Amino acid sequence: MPLWIDSHCHLDAPEFDADRGAVVARARATGVGLLVIPSVEAAHFEGVRTLAHATGQVYALGLHPLYVHRQPSDALDQLARALHEHLGDERLVAVGEIGLDGFVPGLDWATQERFYAAQLVLARSVDLPVILHVRRSADVLLKHLRRAGVRGGIAHAFNGSEQQARAFIDLGFRLGFGGAMTFERALQIRRLAQILPADAIVLETDAPDIPPHWRYRTAGERAQGLGSRNEPAELPRIAETLAGLRGWTLEETAAITTANVCAALPRLAQWLPA
């Protein structure tokens, strides 16, 4: 069975509270041997770290742009302390999820940008890669990355242009592809998955979010109680879409994307199952 890495999974999300152990077991049964669990708020740092250790995963610490408006005034100081306190913990593989969101209305862009720039400085200070939230924000993210000089990482759930994709790649980043790629109408995402360099692509679920097409539910269906929760166990089936677009076997797809995650997050490699 091929070995897969879910490079972005919010295993700590409340959607998994009822059956988190079963979710991990299902993932392992499908060959998903490792999950990267990024944090999103200061209050979650310790919980994410504890969960990664308890379940044999790896984690990242950061402040998500969708939640910076509700962080305590010392949230960046808390992140700095947590990064330095746990820098010797080899399961800490990145600073993330950080970035900018230009899609959700009503967010304070200046606050997002201030948090993002500060977190890039922190990432450079501890010499860790970053996991980026990129939604209608690629050009500004790239501007700050060029100034900060961080050691690369992953642009999660990438949905920008080819030019923007190649700019991230030139800065040492891999690009995350997941459930959105499985929709035939996602023409730009599927085209990028097909044409970008093989060593630039990593797989992810963003579980419990961004479900693949077979788990997607309309608003009406959700109102009827039908669930659309994504899980890391869906990763091998998502990978079938990438394999089809690239003309790879599943074994080739697993080997290539696993190597790419290890290149993006170097601390991760030691935790792969034997």
The binding site for a divalent metal cation comprises 8, 10, 97, 133, 156, 206
CA dihedral of 175, 178, 183, 189, whole degrees rounded to 10: 0
Q: Is 202 left (phi over 0), alpha (psi -120 to 50) or beta?
A: beta
Q: Which helix (H) or strand (E) holds 197?
A: none
Which parts are annotated binding residues? Answer: 8, 10, 97, 133, 156, 206
Cα distance between the two ends of the chain: 13
Determine how β-strand 201-203 pairs with β-strand 4-6.
unpaired
At 113, the amino acid letter reads: E
- Helix/strand/coil (H/E/C) assignment for every residue in 163-177: HHHHHHHHCCEEEEE
